[in-house]
């Protein structure tokens, strides 16, 4: 019995060591990624419409990502292409629980919606019909 417990403890110790090494690897990868991103992107605060917005610019000075809020205070995430042209915008609806996704012309292309008691997330078509549902 004692031998079985010792084996389990040894195995648990090895697993903890492997987990520790994996976490060190993730930390190192995160530091490298952060360093690489600093070479190509610069985080800047907006100076016009939304002073609290965070904007990421590429090395050419073109806006790539904007995280902020619209005039009603709803969260917005805008993704631009390499030329700085708006490609996709995601916005949270008032009251939360649903994120609308639109193309550059403002046409809805989908929505993410949290629903149900287990935090289910559904990807919906612009018409509102569910395409993909998952937990």
Per-residue pLDDT of the chain (135 residues; tens, 9 = 90+): 677 777 777 777 777 777 767 766 666 666 666 665 555 555 554 444 555 677 777 777 777 787 777 777 777 778 887 777 777 777 766 655 567 777 777 777 776 666 555 555 556 666 656 555 554
**Do the beta carbons of residue 55 and residue 65 sit within 8 Å?**
yes
Continuous H helices in the chain: 2-40
> Can you tell me the distance from the alpha carbon of 135 to that of 80, in angstroms, rounded to the nearest whole number?
29
Structure-derived torsion over alpha carbons of residues 13, 32, 51, 57, reported in degrees to the nearest 10:
-150
**Do the beta carbons of residue 98 and residue 110 sit within 8 Å?**
no
Claim: this prediction has a pTM higher than 0.75 = no
């Amino acid at each position: 019995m004692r031998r079985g417990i010792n084996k389990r403890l040894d195995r648990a110790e090895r697993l903890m060591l492997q987990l520790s090494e994996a976490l060190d690897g993730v930390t190192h990868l995160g530091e490298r990624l952060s360093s690489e991103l600093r070479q190509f992107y610069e985080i800047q605060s907006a100076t016009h419409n939304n002073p609290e917005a965070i904007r990421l610019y590429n090395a050419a000075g073109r806006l790539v990502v904007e995280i902020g809020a619209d005039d009603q205070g709803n969260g917005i995430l805008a993704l631009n292409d390499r030329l700085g042209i708006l490609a996709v915008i995601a916005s949270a609806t008032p009251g939360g629980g649903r994120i609308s996704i639109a193309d550059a012309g403002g046409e809805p292309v989908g929505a993410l919606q949290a629903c149900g008691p287990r935090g289910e997330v559904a990807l919906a078509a612009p018409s509102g019909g569910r395409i993909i549902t998952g937990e």
